[in-house]
């Protein structure tokens, strides 16, 4: 399968922030989100071809228990279900980054955790909330929802999503991820304050979590 890179890092966002793990970044994504920070993972003709065993062998070199399969869009990668099966057989704890636009029951059944990124207006990708409701109905016990917040429109969208999904969330965490602005090489701290105040004023059961790897490394990938 086509792989962009395999590297070790501490999780930079969401509820497992700070946890060391191996990232397997697949190659290829058709969504083309406007605020994507891994543009070199879009083109399915780039990257390197690796067998399942080569990927598992590379993961083993790092000696970590947790593996995060990210992209690109992992659900567009040929062989991702076989990779997950092979990693599970080797005893790894497996997280997959999902866009919320696709649904793959075989993949979602096998992984230990699903991190689902709902696409807000700033991405210029229309979110598929009906698909996300389906995911919550089956997997909310082992998933989180993350939504990037870059604009006031995004913040309004997040509140709307929370209201629409609230009855389906159960134990699933909804995380607001303040956007890192690469042009300014920093966070929009006014937007972060707006998000925090909105959460408290409207009594939303969500978490605002900044991207740790961007705080430490800026726009670099942040592997060590």
Residues 6+ apart with CB under 8 A from 154: 120, 121, 122, 147, 148, 179
pLDDT digits (tens, 9 = 90+) for 3-29: 999 999 999 999 999 999 999 999 999
Range 2-217 has CATH code 3.20.20.70: yes
pTM of the predicted model as reported, rounded to 2 decimal places: 0.94
Averaged pLDDT in 10-residue chunks for the chain of 224 residues: 96 95 97 88 95 98 98 95 98 96 96 97 93 96 96 96 96 93 75 96 95 80 41
Among candidate residues 78, 130, 141, the one with its CA nearest the CA of residue 108:
141
Among candidate residues 173, 106, 177, the one with its CA nearest the CA of residue 140:
173
pLDDT digits (tens, 9 = 90+) for 36-61: 888 899 999 999 999 999 999 999 99
Among candidate residues 23, 62, 65, 20, the one with its CA nearest the CA of residue 41:
23
Longest CA span, the chain: 51
Q: Which two tokens stand for residue 19?
A: 């946890």
3-state secondary structure of 107: helix
């Amino acid at each position: 399968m086509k792989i962009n890179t395999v590297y070790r890092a501490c999780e930079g966002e969401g509820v497992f922030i700070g946890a060391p793990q191996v990232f397997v970044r697949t190659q290829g994504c058709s969504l083309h989100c406007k605020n994507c920070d891994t543009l070199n993972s879009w083109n399915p003709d780039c990257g390197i071809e690796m067998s399942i065993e080569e990927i598992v062998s590379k993961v083993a070199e790092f000696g970590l228990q947790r593996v995060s399969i990210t992209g690109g869009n992992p659900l567009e990668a040929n062989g991702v279900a076989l990779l997950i099966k092979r990693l599970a057989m080797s005893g790894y704890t497996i997280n997959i980054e999902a866009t919320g636009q696709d649904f793959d029951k075989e993949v979602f059944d096998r992984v230990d955790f699903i991190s689902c990124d709902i696409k807000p207006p700033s991405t210029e990708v229309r979110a598929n909330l009906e698909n996300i409701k389906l995911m919550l109905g089956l997997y909310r016990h082992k998933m989180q929802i993350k939504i990037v917040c870059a604009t006031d429109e995004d913040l309004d969208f997040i509140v709307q999503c929370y209201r629409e999904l609230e009855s389906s969330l159960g134990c699933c965490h909804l995380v607001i991820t303040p956007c890192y602005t690469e042009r300014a090489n920093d966070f929009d701290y006014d937007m972060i304050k707006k998000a925090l105040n909105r959460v408290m004023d409207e009594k939303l059961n969500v978490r605002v979590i900044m991207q740790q790897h961007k705080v430490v490394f800026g726009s670099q990938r942040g592997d060590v």
